[in-house]
């Protein structure tokens, strides 16, 4: 069964992005206690995606290369990791962290992402696992406003 266009867009969202950890902007996290007279600081909720992408037999490395080429310049992308599945020779795991969901959505219209989608689509057989997450922080991710 061919993957749906929406799944392909989600799976290749930042196809032109390699790990860009903490390189783009800061994300608001838990704020320190403050005087009640101060204006509250608006916090931003990070947006994450974790997904497994399966490929045509023997095409995993080719798809990984497409996902990792031209990887700079993704506004709002804090982390984009492409990993091989050690138990499935035709699968990749993609882990993404964005400043917010709006930045993720906007990335879908970037020419580099559109080109990667067009190039990678024929290699993809499915997205058996696709999960949105709300990252709280971690090594390499900024928790400061």
CATH number (domain holding residue 58): 3.30.70.100
Backbone angles phi, psi at 79, to 5 degrees: -160, 135
Position 123 in a domain? yes
- Which DSSP category does 84 fall into? E
Structure tokens at 134: 């709300």
Rounded to an integer, what distance in angstroms lies between the CA atom of residue 114 and that of residue 127? 18
- The tally of domains found in the chain comes to 1
For residue 128, the enclosing domain spans: 5-24+45-133
Look at residue 35 and tell me if it is in a domain.
Answer: no
Rg (Cα) of the chain, in Å, rounded?
A: 17
**114 part of a folded domain:** yes
In a domain, 100, yes or no: yes
- Written as six digits, the tokens of 4 are 């749906």
Q: Which residues of 83-108 are buried (b: 16+ CB within 10 A; e: fewer)?
A: eeeeeeebbbbbbbbbbbbebbeebe
- What is the mean pLDDT of the segment spanning 112-137? 94
In a domain, 139, yes or no: no
Q: Inform me whether the pLDDT recorded for 133 exceeds 60.
A: yes
The answer to whether residue 109 is domain-embedded is yes
pLDDT for position 63: 97
CB atoms within 10 A of CB 135: 19
**pLDDT, mean over the chain:** 77
What share of the chain in percent tops pLDDT 90? Answer: 54
Residue 65: pLDDT band (50, 70, 90) is: very high
Is residue 38, in this structure, part of any structural domain at all? no
User: Across the beta sheet with 77-84, what order do the strands follow?
Assistant: 77-84, 91-98, 47-55, 124-133
Q: Is residue 9 part of a domain?
A: yes
């Amino acid at each position: 069964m061919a993957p749906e266009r929406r799944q392909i867009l989600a799976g290749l969202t930042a196809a032109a992005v390699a790990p860009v950890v903490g390189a783009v902007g800061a994300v608001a996290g838990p704020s320190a206690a403050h005087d009640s007279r101060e204006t509250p600081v608006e916090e931003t909720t990070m947006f994450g995606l974790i997904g497994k992408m399966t490929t045509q037999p023997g095409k995993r490395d080719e798809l990984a290369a497409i996902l990792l080429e031209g990887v700079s310049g993704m506004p709002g992308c804090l982390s984009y990791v492409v990993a091989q599945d050690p138990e499935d020779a035709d699968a990749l795991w993609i882990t993404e962290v964005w400043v917010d969901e709006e930045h993720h959505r906007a990335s879908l219209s970037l020419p580099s992402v559109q080109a990667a989608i067009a190039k990678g689509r024929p290699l993809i057989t499915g997205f058996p696992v696709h999960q949105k997450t709300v990252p709280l922080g971690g090594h390499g991710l900024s928790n400061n406003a």
